[in-house]
Amino acid sequence: MNPAASSLAGGAEGVGPEAPPLAPQPVPGLPPVPIAKLALSVVVPFYNEEANIVPWYQALTVVLTELALPYEIVAVDDGSRDGTFARLRELHLADRRLKVLRFRRNFGQTAALSAGFDHVSGEVVVTMDGDLQNHPEDIPRLLAKIDEGYDIVSGWRVKRQDAQLTRVWPSRIANALVSLVTGVHLHDYGCSLKAYRSEVAKGIRLYGDLHRFIPAVASYMGTAVAEIPVEHSPRRAGKSNYGLWRTVRVLLDLVAVRFFLSFLTKPIQIFGFLGLISGGLGTLLGLYLAYLKIFLGESIGSRPLLFLAGLLILVGVQFIVLGLLGEVLTRVYYEVQGKRTYVIRERLGLVSDET
Ligand code: UDP
Ligand code: MG
């Protein structure tokens, strides 16, 4: 058994007769397997992956069985219109360790992962694609890295098997940018194969298409992130859900992520700063024009500079007001949900007052 397996298994000590049954249980209607002592949860989103499901399940199960850890697989059917759900249900009936969530419609990969995180019970959560582009054989190495103390271990598809022009190169540029802007340095943000400590996976709230930024989004909690090279294959069957357009959207998301990381609790600092610059410039221009008018007697009524000065002052005031509105929204955001502006790692001698 490899080191990851032994150590994680150690963390799940006391798994007694109530442990998840190792043999498939083809009886429908049984109570769910006990979930409190799982070591590992694997979350996988599926959108129209009918043809990939059985091969994916077999490949993953071989690896998980070898690990010899109590585990569960949480498959999320993201509103597929083919036989994806039917395949998953068949597998679930034969193996209760495979659990299935089915969305009412296609909500996207980010929502699918969020839903998975909300339902897992393992100490460690691994995510991967359902099209077998990721290799389950890499999972033990991810776990070994988590065991070293990292909170997130991200796969790096060193030899990525996607279209070069529309996918690989745009994504390289996007990765470099994300790394620069967020300060979380990874080569490959887009790799779905990742492992998380479950409190990290459960602690992040994901919107839009932000699953690609999870390591950056999670960095607000102060997470230790590692990256390891992983295998990558061409899609087994079906077609990719994404193209070049995605890279453009990634750039827009990046602006949002950066804002949230730096200014969520202090919007006045960024908007107020922009407002002061704009308003300050406008005021200087105005003073200059006033000097021309009053002391040199020049006519300034038709000068474009006058309009620019007025515009800059107006924009400056608007920025500052926007910052104040942001401050109000921030308070609403935190207080309505009883959210904290901090995340606690451990408590010694103190009890949590969180509900
Ligand atoms: N996926 C999903 N919902 C979507 C799009 C994709 O659940 O709206 C799943 C898809 O089934 C696959 C994974 O997310 O398991 C990655 O998608 P895809 O393979 O299309 O992306 P690529 O590997 O081409 O980046
Ligand atoms: Mg894929």
Same domain, yes or no: 243 and 272: no
User: What pLDDT, in 10s, does the model give residues 297-317?
Assistant: 999 999 999 999 999 999 999
**Ligand located closest to 239 CA:** 1
Residue 131 in contact with ligand 1 by CB distance below 6 A: yes
For residue 48, give the ligand 1 atom closest to its CA. 11
Length of the chain measured in residues: 355
Where are any strands of DSSP class E within 52-142? Answer: 71-77, 98-102, 124-127
Same domain, yes or no: 287 and 162: no
pLDDT at 139: 97
The residue out of 233, 263, 293 marking a domain boundary is 263
Say how far residue 68 (Cα) sits from the centre of its chain: 28
Mutate to test the pocket of ligand 1, among 77, 129, 132 (most ligand atoms within 8 A of CB): 129
pLDDT at 141: 97
User: What pLDDT, in 10s, does the model give residues 233-266?
Assistant: 999 888 888 877 877 788 889 999 999 999 999 9
The verdict on residue 343 lying in a domain is no
Distance of alpha carbon 215 from alpha carbon 25, whole angstroms: 37
For residue 47, give the ligand 1 atom closest to its CA. 11
- Cα–Cα distances in angstroms (integers) from residue 42 to residues 62, 74, 271, 281, in the given order: 13, 6, 41, 55
**Ligand located closest to 130 CA:** 1
Same domain, yes or no: 276 and 196: no
pLDDT at 66: 95
Give the single-character DSSP code of 346: -
Instruction: Report which protein residue has its CA nearest ligand 1's atom 18.
Output: 240
Take residue 297 and report the two structure tokens written for it.
Answer: 């007697």
Mutate to test the pocket of ligand 1, among 113, 241, 244 (most ligand atoms within 8 A of CB): 241
Distance of alpha carbon 204 from alpha carbon 329, whole angstroms: 20
Question: What average pLDDT does the structure give for the chain?
Answer: 89
Question: Higher pLDDT residue, 150 or 13?
Answer: 150
pLDDT at position 195 over 80: yes
Count structural domains, the chain: 2
CA angle 143–149–151, rounded 5-degree value: 75
Same domain, yes or no: 201 and 318: no
Same domain, yes or no: 118 and 152: yes
pLDDT at position 2 over 90: no
pLDDT at 29: 56
The verdict on residue 82 lying in a domain is yes
Same domain, yes or no: 150 and 9: yes
Which residue is associated with the tokens 């590692």? 226
pLDDT at 354: 61
In this structure, what CATH number is given to the domain that contains residue 11? 3.90.550.10
Query: Average pLDDT of 190-197?
Result: 96
Question: Higher pLDDT residue, 347 or 17?
Answer: 347
C-alpha 43 to ligand 1 mean position (Å): 13
**pLDDT interval class at 78 (50, 70, 90):** very high
C-alpha 172 to ligand 1 mean position (Å): 19
pLDDT at 250: 84
Same domain, yes or no: 94 and 131: yes
Q: Percent of the chain beyond pLDDT 90?
A: 74
Query: In which domain, by residue range, is 314 found?
Result: 267-336
C-alpha 289 to ligand 1 mean position (Å): 59
Residue 189 in contact with ligand 1 by CB distance below 6 A: no
**Ligand located closest to 240 CA:** 1
pLDDT at position 329 over 50: yes
Residue 46 in contact with ligand 1 by CB distance below 6 A: yes
Residue 273 in contact with ligand 1 by CB distance below 6 A: no
The residue out of 263, 292, 322 marking a domain boundary is 263
Same domain, yes or no: 224 and 276: no
**pLDDT interval class at 12 (50, 70, 90):** very low
Residue 130 in contact with ligand 1 by CB distance below 6 A: yes
**Ligand located closest to 167 CA:** 1
The residue out of 210, 244, 263 marking a domain boundary is 263
For residue 239, give the ligand 1 atom closest to its CA. 20
Residue 171 in contact with ligand 1 by CB distance below 6 A: no
Element (H, E) at 42: strand 40-46
Residue 79 in contact with ligand 1 by CB distance below 6 A: no
pLDDT at 16: 45
Residue 233 in contact with ligand 1 by CB distance below 6 A: no
Residue type, 306: L
C-alpha 109 to ligand 1 mean position (Å): 6
Question: Higher pLDDT residue, 71 or 241?
Answer: 71
User: What pLDDT, in 10s, does the model give residues 101-155?
Assistant: 999 999 999 999 999 999 999 999 999 999 999 999 999 999 999 999 999 999 9
Q: In the chain, how long is the greatest CA-to-CA distance?
A: 96
pLDDT at 1: 41
Residue 129 in contact with ligand 1 by CB distance below 6 A: yes
Same domain, yes or no: 167 and 220: yes
Query: Average pLDDT of 317-323?
Result: 98
